[in-house]
Amino acid sequence: MSRWLTDLNQQQRQAVETVEGPLLVLAGAGSGKTRVITHRIAHLLELGVAGESILAMTFTNKAANEMRERLASMVGSRANPVTLSTFHSLGLLMLREEARRSRRRQPFTIFDTGDQLGVLREITRQRRLEQGYDLGAILTRISNWKNSFMAPGETPPSDDPYDLAAAELFGRYAELMHAYRAVDFDDLICEPTRMLERDEGCRRRWAERFRYVLVDEYQDTNPAQLRLLFSIAGEHRNLAVVGDDDQSIYGWRGADVRNILRFEQDFPQAKVIYLMRNYRSVGTVLDAANRVIAQNTERHPKRLQASRGAGPRVRLTITSDGELEAAHVARTIREMVDTGRRRYADIAVLYRSNILARDLETEMRTSRIPYRMVGGTSYYDRKEVKDLVAYLKLAANPRDELSLRRVINNPPRGIGPKTVEQLTAWAEEHGVGLYEALDHAEEIIGPGERRALAVRSFKELMERTTRRMSQRSDLPAATEELVSELNLQEELRRSSESDKVLQRRWGFVIQFQQSVERFCERSDKPTLREYLTQLALLDMATERPEEAPDNQVTLCTLHGSKGLEFPVVFLIGLEEGLLPHDRTLNPQATDAVIGDIAEERRLCYVGMTRAMDELLLSRAKARRVRGRLQERTPSRFLEAIPAESLDVDDQTLTASADDVSSMMDDLRSKLGW
């Protein structure tokens, strides 16, 4: 017997052993899912399957890396030939290889959401379309159409103004993306799929290459991803998917729970295995979570089974407002840590909406509780970093007009909107790109004019930069030269009002340069193109200057908590309008996808099942909403938890001596006494 079958429970073992044919593994929270996946791959290798023919797909790079590490620790270098990648990286790999095969041009630049919005902004500006549309709402619609393989002009009839606006922009969007030689995230899935569906020989090649396909978090796949999977695995049917419909929380991003609900119809005779033994949480937590999720109707019926003891009862604390709720959380954490029961790192505070993090942060600071927020604004969203990235993108792809427009007068060099307009008009007239028009500055603007000289010197700067960066030479050195040629440090000094701000901003520049260096050290192909690809595709978290995993409390959204676990979990803001969120209860005109209560309930379930030992729920009777104090009603999800398994602590009823004294303590610490 393969050694990867021992120390698994019966269902886990079955999931590992079922090697041929379609397989659906419904892996409940904390049921040892990652273990099953890694063991399954190890087992396949053990059976003599070539690593090259195994494809394991995840959604995040973090998950992919984690899996690779675990697998490597099991089978060592035999893990190397296995393709372990995200959907998007696989898509890019396919596009590249096929382009190479047919000697076609490879995709140049990957546009992230910010870039996509930039394209839309550009179009509305050009067309002088009515302002005031929420471009994000338009982009969502375009993205949904793309994921249903609709071309511009094929969009379904609608009288929704946003549908109409989006349909109007869709065509131009596609044209511009093409002109810029750019692809977006949707293209990375849809284009390879089209390729496979169009060309049977091509499809066969990929199907034969990946004889064994494994998909993690299957509940998060969208229709396009399903079609891609079908093209690869539809024939040999060696497709194992792992997921949990109860943890599908990305419907609003286009994920379709129905994929996992009807897997058995999509792949007839699929074997279905339930992993329901939970190794994470105590009985009380599981019981409460089970009750909540049981209220959903469209799901694979199942129930997590406890394998640990009962544990303390779930607690619900009621405070009179949001600030007091945050104060209560801080005070409880303080107590847990001071009595030595817990370390900060054992504790997480989860919330539906980032807005709740604000009061928490204030409280954490005054109570001197070290914390880290997962998610939040990325370091790569910093203006300083984005500007530099735009220079690199332009160097890699002169047709990337978006980047060109971003950097052409940044830092200011006397090329204002008027000049750019003139250049654009000339470029259009002569049917060339904007970048080429730069060469004709004198002709366009007038010989000897200062603006023309500015354009020329910008062009020369770009050519030097491109030369240094593109010949696979020393990328970090080229970046450094760019920074110095731009006189960035001086520029920042000039535009920063305080020294502190300057230090911070310059710090971002330094960090960026370091990230380039690190990439070049690690990569076996340290080219500019590769670096930019990684930047777009790779989880920024892995690139982010790593903060030491200190002993800190974790603050994060419910979405951000998926896949994590903590001994102690606070789940706050259990109120109607927050969880379920108001946006789900009262959809807006701009919403392309109307969220449903079922997904909100799953969100609640995901949060609850993060807790190993203690689950502490809370709600406030009133909360400041946009400056106004508003009465709040308890979340409907609380009703599912039977009163007898809940310890309710209503702090608005009893201001006991204890509470008063702790409030005094609180006050004292705030005043610094």
Q: Strand ranges (DSSP E) for 321-480?
A: 347-351, 371-373
33 labelled catalytic? yes
Nearer to DNA, 50 or 594 (CB): 594
How many Cα atoms are found within 13 Å in the side-chain-facing hemisphere of 417? 1
Interface pick for DNA out of 11, 14, 86, 225 (rule CB under 7 A): 86
CA atoms of 215 and 225, how far apart (whole Å):
11
Interface pick for DNA out of 583, 597, 634, 646 (rule CB under 7 A): 583
416 contributes a contact to DNA by CB under 7 A: yes
Cα–Cα separations (whole angstroms), residue 54 to 90, 213, 217, 485: 13, 6, 17, 47
CA atoms of 472 and 468, how far apart (whole Å):
8
Closest CA to 109 of 399, 387, 437: 399
Nearer to DNA, 73 or 495 (CB): 495
Interface pick for DNA out of 100, 127, 253, 472 (rule CB under 7 A): 253
Q: How many residues does the chain have?
A: 673
Cβ at position 625, least distance to DNA in Å: 9
- What radius of gyration do the chain's Cα atoms show? 27
Closest CA to 184 of 144, 213, 226: 144
Token pair 């970046």: residue: 479
- Identity of residue 368: R
Site string for DNA, 278-317 (x = CB under 7 A): ----------------------------------------
The size of the interface with DNA (CB under 7 A), counted in residues, is 49
Among 157-165, 520-528, 585-593, 664-672, the segment contacting DNA (CB under 7 A): 585-593
* 243, 247, 252, 253: CA torsion to nearest 10: -40
- Identity of residue 130: E
Site string for DNA, 323-352 (x = CB under 7 A): -----------------------------x
How many Cα atoms are found within 13 Å in the side-chain-facing hemisphere of 181? 15
Among 13-21, 278-286, 551-559, 641-649, the segment contacting DNA (CB under 7 A): 551-559
Neighbours of 131 (CB within 10 A): 7
217 labelled catalytic? yes
Indicate which residue of 291, 299, 406, 610 is catalytic. 610
Q: Strand ranges (DSSP E) for 508-663?
A: 553-557, 566-571, 611-620, 622-625, 628-631, 646-650
Site for DNA in 356-375 (CB under 7 A): 375
CA atoms of 127 and 513, how far apart (whole Å):
38
Indicate which residue of 163, 184, 191, 217 is catalytic. 217
Site for DNA in 443-502 (CB under 7 A): 494-495
Nearer to DNA, 434 or 558 (CB): 558
Indicate which residue of 163, 216, 359, 666 is catalytic. 216
Interface pick for DNA out of 60, 225, 479, 651 (rule CB under 7 A): 60
581 contributes a contact to DNA by CB under 7 A: yes
Catalytic residues: 33-34, 216-217, 247, 610
Q: What is the contact surface with DNA in residues (CB under 7 A)?
A: 59-62, 86, 88-89, 112-113, 132, 134, 185, 217, 220, 250, 252-253, 255, 352-355, 375, 409, 412-416, 494-495, 537, 539-540, 556-557, 559-560, 581, 583-584, 587-588, 590-591, 595, 624, 626-627
